[in-house]
Amino acid sequence: MTASDIHTPQYFWQQDAARHALRAALDADRLATAYLFVGPEGVGKWAAAQWTAKALLCEAPERGNRPCHECGGCKRAAKFTHPDLHLLYPVPKKDDEEHIAAFLETKRDNPFAVIEYNRKPNLAIERVRDVQTELSKTAAEGGKKVAVIGEADQMAPNVHGILLKSIEEPPPNTHFVLTTADPGRIPQTIHSRCQTIRFTAVDPELIAQRLVDEGIAAPDQAHMAAHLSDGGWGHALRLCDEESVAWRSDVETLWQKAFQPQLSDFIDQMETMFRGGQKFNETVQAFDIWSLLLWRDARAAFASSDTASASMATPSLDVAWSCWKILQQGRATLWVNVLPRSAVRGTFLALRKRMGLG
């Protein structure tokens, strides 16, 4: 870590290998023309891309002090207003100014943020061509030009050739930083022309501890959010907002009511949860929560030999394992056009049957 990195925004957290690789390349003036940052969502790939862009556009005379975070170049890059910084990221519609503005505002405030939409986002060919046109021009400030392409795996196939041409024959002083959580969807022709920097999932215990230390969540909530985050700090933060906490509370309540003798309370709770929308992403998360609750209750039952201490009866490891498989099967049905409410209802009826509750 250099002097310029001290007391500055934390662009790397628990990603020492990535930080050391980029820092060494910068100090040696050997930053690659094109990078591919690979790793789970929320671990800091966009944050690292923002750091790289700032380093390239920084006006500090000594490379060892870049990014300085204080010069005009750094400040404008941080605000996404630098004329030689070009950003591409998937949104639901190519001309969706509202979502574009919201994305930029969110990432300015927190580069680790994970942004989700109700519709599948994509990187439209028109937006890629616009950036390609801008990169072909002389740098507005006579230095480097940087293109950051977030979630590059969301490009349509007809966009790959345009991007490949730009990377193969880059305009002078131009650098590309692509990020992806799904490198298998990046064509090998592009992959092979980028230097790959890998980002890894963070230990959930470290995430939970940081959530508690920073006063973001109480220990129980922090533990749940951390284990649902897939090792991504950005995911964990999103899971701690008021809406997510309220949803998880409803999910846990539904779990508790599902195994009562009468199903009326369960049905009422489910109808309340799914009122006003299908909630695909939230339902995926709900299945993950129920899997965690299943093993929590199983451990409690095994430890105490008192199934009354848990929300559900788990008399044997065999039954717990069977219930877990039922949950995974229910989760999988969400991707085959089964309505979330139907997937939940069918899953819990199967769980009750496996546990002999009828």
Is residue 253 located within the same domain as residue 342?
A: yes
> Which residue, 198, 221, 251, sits at the end of a domain?
198
Is residue 286 located within the same domain as residue 194?
A: no
For 69-73, 79-83, 104-108, 346-350, which range has the lowest pLDDT when averaged over its residues? 104-108
Max mean pLDDT among 41-45, 114-118, 239-243, 314-318 falls in 41-45
Dist. CA 315–CA 317, nearest whole Å: 7
pLDDT value of position 53: 94
Is residue 28 located within the same domain as residue 164?
A: yes
Is residue 193 located within the same domain as residue 250?
A: no
Provide the β-strand partners of residue 195: 35
Is residue 19 located within the same domain as residue 159?
A: yes
Dist. CA 212–CA 222, nearest whole Å: 7
Is residue 126 located within the same domain as residue 275?
A: no
Question: In terms of Cα–Cα distance, which of 44, 68, 46, 47 is closest to 56?
Answer: 68
pLDDT value of position 314: 53
* Domain containing residue 96: CATH number: 3.40.50.300
- State yes or no: pLDDT of 43 exceeds 50: yes
* pLDDT, average across residues 152-173: 84
Is residue 261 located within the same domain as residue 314?
A: yes
Cα 181-182-184 angle, rounded to 5 deg: 155
Residue with tokens 């929320």: 42
- Give phi and psi for 81, each to the nearest 5: -110, 5
Which contiguous run of DSSP H or E holds residue 309? Answer: none
Dist. CA 311–CA 299, nearest whole Å: 12
pLDDT tens per residue, range 283-323:
888 898 898 888 777 766 655 554 444 455 555 778 888 99
For 127-136, 138-147, 208-217, 297-306, which range has the lowest pLDDT when averaged over its residues? 297-306
Percent of the chain surpassing pLDDT 70: 90
3-state secondary structure 231-295: CCHHHHHHHCCHHHHHHHHHHHHHHHHHCCCCCHHHHHHHHHHCCCCCCHHHHHHHHHHHHHHHH
CA dihedral 88, 90, 96, 99 (to 10 degrees): -100
- State yes or no: pLDDT of 134 exceeds 70: yes
Dist. CA 331–CA 347, nearest whole Å: 9
Owning domain of residue 83 = 3-198
Contact (Cβ atoms closer than 8 angstroms) between residue 228 and residue 235: yes
Model confidence at 169, in pLDDT bands (50, 70, 90)? confident
Model confidence at 94, in pLDDT bands (50, 70, 90)? low
Q: Name the domain count of the chain.
A: 2
Is residue 307 located within the same domain as residue 165?
A: no
Is residue 95 located within the same domain as residue 173?
A: yes
Contact (Cβ atoms closer than 8 angstroms) between residue 80 and residue 87: yes
- State yes or no: pLDDT of 229 exceeds 90: no
Average pLDDT value for the chain? 84
Is residue 159 located within the same domain as residue 253?
A: no
Is residue 144 located within the same domain as residue 12?
A: yes
Within a domain: 227? no
DSSP secondary-structure letter at 52?
H
Residue 21 CA: distances (Å) to CA of 8, 37, 52, 93, 196: 19, 12, 11, 35, 10
Dist. CA 62–CA 4, nearest whole Å: 11
Within a domain: 41? yes
Within a domain: 147? yes
- State yes or no: pLDDT of 238 exceeds 80: yes
pLDDT value of position 307: 46
pLDDT value of position 185: 85
pLDDT tens per residue, range 49-65:
999 999 999 999 888 88
Q: Which two tokens stand for residue 163?
A: 């991007």
For 171-185, 186-200, 304-318, which range has the lowest pLDDT when averaged over its residues? 304-318
- State yes or no: pLDDT of 351 exceeds 50: yes
Q: Which two tokens stand for residue 157?
A: 């196939």
Which contiguous run of DSSP H or E holds residue 64? Answer: none
Dist. CA 103–CA 306, nearest whole Å: 49
Is residue 165 located within the same domain as residue 99?
A: yes
pLDDT value of position 3: 40
Within a domain: 203? no
Dist. CA 106–CA 98, nearest whole Å: 12
Within a domain: 313? yes
Which contiguous run of DSSP H or E holds residue 14? Answer: none
